[in-house]
Amino acid sequence: MQTRSLGIDELQVSAIGLGCMGLSYGYGPAVSEADGMALIRAAYDGGVTFFDTAEAYGPYANEELVGKALADVRNDVVIATKFGFIDGKPASGLDSRPETIRAVAEASLRRLGTDHIDLFYQHRVDPNVPIEDVAGTVRDLIAEGKVRHFGLSEAGAETIRRAHAVQPVTALQSEYSMWWREPEAQILPLCAELGIGFVPFSPLGKGFLTGAINAQTTFGEDDFRAVVPRFEEANRRANDALVQELKAIAAHHDATPAQIAIAWLLAQSPSIVPIPGTTKRHRLDENLGAARLDLDENDLAGIGRTLAAFPVAGDRYPASIAGRVGR
């Protein structure tokens, strides 16, 4: 696995990371501890050194899983976690008060079984707390050796600039994929200007770009996609046209749609490090295989024409939480 650098501090990570959320939260029932640990270790054995978790994933259970799975290789990996929700529960609202950030840092250190957090993200921007106070608190945690790098997630351009002026932002984590390209307008150019790495979550469109989801797919009540407008049946039918085109492109490269989607992201910038998640070993191997796929300028131009010809139907978030992003 090749490595890439995030931020002006040049945090070295594998070119593809592992989003660990789905092992505990968000996409149906949590996997067993044994299965979760096995998948995380398989990722490490496959060259992954960048693992993404959060107190909110569970809550709490995912940090414990990640910490336990990586305990004996802790010094060889980069672990990112997050703060920003009341009691680690997104449904309870936002809380990025300095005292809360400190409390979450201490709790995350215990759950992860480590003496430092490599990358500490604000999970969502809290409009009730000045971002300067948030960045200053993380700056202090860095000075104390408890945190090494500061990150933001789904933040807007002004917030990123203000935070970066207090404590350099190593990475911005936001959704970015073939079917959510809004970061290209302002956020990616800003990251390039300020020397901030970009970590796309949901690089496979929450699974849709794999081709495994169609109009007949059903989602359980504990699957976040059940409330996402983009996954309503009518929109899935409409969006399938893009997936069919993606399958044709993949066939030309003797690859899978997922590999094309990840390779496309990698080709956008050397500072982009996608973090696809999965609960299945064969999907993990498939995703990591994208690092060996090279797309040239002609490939990228052809994909660009395809994306322009097949606009995505449906909003990416329900209205109840859409207001939390881009602040």
Across the chain, the runs of DSSP E, i.e. the strands, are 3-6, 11-14, 18-19, 50-52, 78-83, 117-122, 147-153, 169-175, 197-201
Which CA distances in Å does 74 have to 9, 117, 252?
A: 20, 11, 40
316 and 230 Cβ atoms separated by less than 8 Å: yes
- Nearest in space to 267 (alpha carbons), one of 286, 248, 235, 290: 290
Contact 279, 62 (CB under 8 A): no
3-state class of 232 per DSSP? coil
First to last CA, the chain: 34
Q: For the chain, how many residues are written?
A: 327
Instruction: Please indicate whether residue 57 is annotated as part of the active site.
Output: yes
What single-letter amino acid sits at 112? Answer: L
Q: Which of 44, 57, 60, 176 is catalytic?
A: 57
265, 176 Cβ separation under 8 angstroms? yes
Distance of CA 131 to CAs 8, 155, 217, 267, 325, Å?
Answer: 20, 10, 41, 31, 14
- Catalytic machinery residues: 57
